[in-house]
Structure 1
């Protein structure tokens, strides 16, 4: 069984690579996709394509629209959505992605440290699993794809 998993959220650490490496080690038939994680490209796409803006509001507005084409399409095509909330920044876009996935009825896995439990209680309630480490996401995917528990 081949699945498409969308990895949303925090872009400043290597959590996506840890999941990708774990999936390769397990030889799981999973295709991963994600938002553009080059922060500069993501911020500048609107003005790079549609022209300069004098106000940051309109620059951000243009970029957000173009980025949403990618995000919405990939979430809609996914079988599972994983949303990572990191320590460093407020990820409003990640919360939006989680809500969008939940509204579409997509199985949702959240990934965040325990200190975010209270702030994310509504998001976590919509999730079918709350993981603390990327390796737990790999374990979840192994189980749902093959019915195999982790080797510990």
Structure 2
């Protein structure tokens, strides 16, 4: 059974790479958003034309990015959403809610400083991890019943 995992959330650290590398040998396929921040912000206006107002600039980008996000979330068996320390990830919170509404198995990944702020998001998850290695351990357990040493 190939497990389809969508990796959503912050784009400023290597957490995705850690999960992908740690999952070598597991029957997992990964997908996720465009992680080039500038490309993600500017895709709408670069493709569909410039906007004078920042609102419309951002709105176009959000709509174009939503094509990939919706596809990834709809196709996923498991959705991992990472909340980092550097910025507020409102888009990650939206992805978590969307995944929960779809009935997806949801793993939330964040540090202890976010426990209170994300309590409702955490309550919708099947697991709340603090390290990418814990996500790998969950995937390994789900796929072959192996526990960490």
User: TM over 0.5: same fold?
Assistant: yes
* Secondary structure at 1:88 match in 2: coil
Q: Show CA shifts across 1:40-68 (max 9, x none).
A: 00011000110000111000000000000
User: In 1, distance between residues paired with 2:22 and 2:132?
Assistant: 9
Match of 2:66 in 1: 68
Match of 1:14 in 2: 14
Match of 1:117 in 2: 115
Q: Decide which of 78, 81, 84 is 2:82's aligned counterpart.
A: 84
* Secondary structure at 1:40 match in 2: helix
Match of 1:150 in 2: 148
Structure 1 residue ranges, 4+ long, deviating more than 3 angstroms after superposition: none
User: In 1, distance between residues paired with 2:85 and 2:123?
Assistant: 20
* Secondary structure at 1:7 match in 2: strand
* Secondary structure at 2:80 match in 1: strand
* Secondary structure at 1:108 match in 2: strand
Provide structure 2 residue ranges, at least 5 long, that are not aligned to the other structure: none
| Deviation at residue 118 of structure 1 after TM alignment | 0.3
| Deviation at residue 19 of structure 1 after TM alignment | 0.3
Match of 2:37 in 1: 39
| Deviation at residue 39 of structure 1 after TM alignment | 0.3
| Deviation at residue 135 of structure 1 after TM alignment | 0.2
| Deviation at residue 124 of structure 1 after TM alignment | 0.2
User: Could you state the TM-score of these two structures normalised by the residue count of structure 2?
Assistant: 0.99
User: In 2, distance between residues paired with 1:135 and 1:128?
Assistant: 16
Q: Show CA shifts across 1:10-31 (max 9, x none).
A: 000000000011001xx10100
